[in-house]
Amino acid sequence: MATQKLADLARSAPGAARGLRPITTWREDMTTMAIGVWPITAMFFDGRGHNNKTGQESFFSIAHLFLYAGLTVLGIWVGVLVTRYQGLEHRKTLMPDLSLIPVGYGVAILGLITLAIGGPTDFIWHSAYGFEVGVDAIYSPPHLALFFGGLLLCSTGIRSMWAKQDIALDFKRFLPVSVSTTLFIGVAGFITMYLSAFMTNVTPTSDFVHDYQTHFKDDFSDQTISLNGGLTGYGDDQWPYYYYSASHGMASMIITTLVLFGPILLNMRRWRVPFGATTMIFTGYGLLVNIMTEYRDIVLIIPLIVTGLAIDVMARRLGGAREDGRVSLGGIRTIGPVAALILWVTYYAVLALDKGIGWEPTLWVGALIIGTMTGFAVAFLVAPPSYGPRLVEADN
């Protein structure tokens, strides 16, 4: 019965703008997202400790305490906010009415429930199996539950603002969406940190390539054995290091492009995104990921800022021809690959100046093409053709 009610609540969300469900105020949405910055930032500091130090084997670390304290405060605020719209003074029962939960906050409650289950489970899991090291920590089942709950909470600002009638918002009125998008991209990037061009970005660098070429026997440079032989030659002294490092670099670009551009282009379909909002979102993401790397790669915030500014400029110019100021579907499909090309050209330029590029031109030029193609793919998924399919009948 409860599941059916939640399903009915989800189906009623599109009707929120027509007054069928409560809609929160800008101040309430802004407060929700401002509080959300607290636990997400703490999560990045927790990841920083695990990635840069050894012996992180205490559940009660400072970062953990700040993380759960922030989630507690956010949970209390959401509870107070939802209760405010229940109209208890006019009702004879204290049972919550799901139809009076403000749009966008039903999923936030599901996120809090997920976190409430994931937190104690995380403690029990560590007690039973110890503390995961390195990559394993990301894929720990309780951690994945926490990440999923975080994603549901982080997207509250986007979902709540989506139900409102406004299309053309100024920078201030758009802030709940901007902060929500920044946090959502941040959590998505955190989950995929080991395939992030901004958090695990050494594979194309000169020092990394020189290291494995000098110290390890690679079947790429030693052609006495094939790639397949290197992959399956268990026990021999050769290994396809180049194969794995190049594949990691390409996969990192694809994943990073998806994480960055998906939410940004989706926002453009819904709103006339105010100038400077995308620059703010990408800058905020850049500051979060640099917490993880202890600011060793702070220069890589430059490609993010440049790309954010380029998207803002393109959106302003392409949206100026429409009455509501929004970018057309064709405009979104233009911005996706162009912005991706700007991001990755700037990224490799900054990386080359800072650490050098160890890849051969065939690989890094191909990487630019892969990144651009991924930008187009994301844009095409977000903004597919507006015309219907043309059905072709078989000849009789």
Closest to 313 in 3D by CA, of 284, 275, 261:
275
Under DSSP, is residue 357 helix (H, G, I), strand (E, B) or coil?
A: strand
The tens digit of pLDDT for each residue in 133-189 reads 667 777 888 888 888 999 999 999 999 999 888 888 899 999 999 999 999 999 999
The tens digit of pLDDT for each residue in 60-83 reads 678 778 888 998 999 999 999 988
The tens digit of pLDDT for each residue in 365-380 reads 999 999 999 999 999 9
Q: Which residues contact 68 (CB under 8 A, 6 or more apart)?
A: 39, 119
Separation between Cα atoms, residue 349 and residue 356, nearest integer Å: 9
The tens digit of pLDDT for each residue in 190-210 reads 999 889 999 888 888 888 888
- Residue 314 pLDDT exceeds 80: yes
The tens digit of pLDDT for each residue in 79-129 reads 999 888 887 555 566 667 777 889 889 899 999 999 888 878 877 877 776
Look at the alpha carbons of 297, 301, 304, 310 in this order and tell me if their dihedral is positive or negative.
Answer: negative
Closest to 278 in 3D by CA, of 334, 235, 325, 335:
335
Separation between Cα atoms, residue 167 and residue 26, nearest integer Å: 14
Average pLDDT, the chain: 84
Average pLDDT (242-260) is 92
Total-model pTM: 0.86
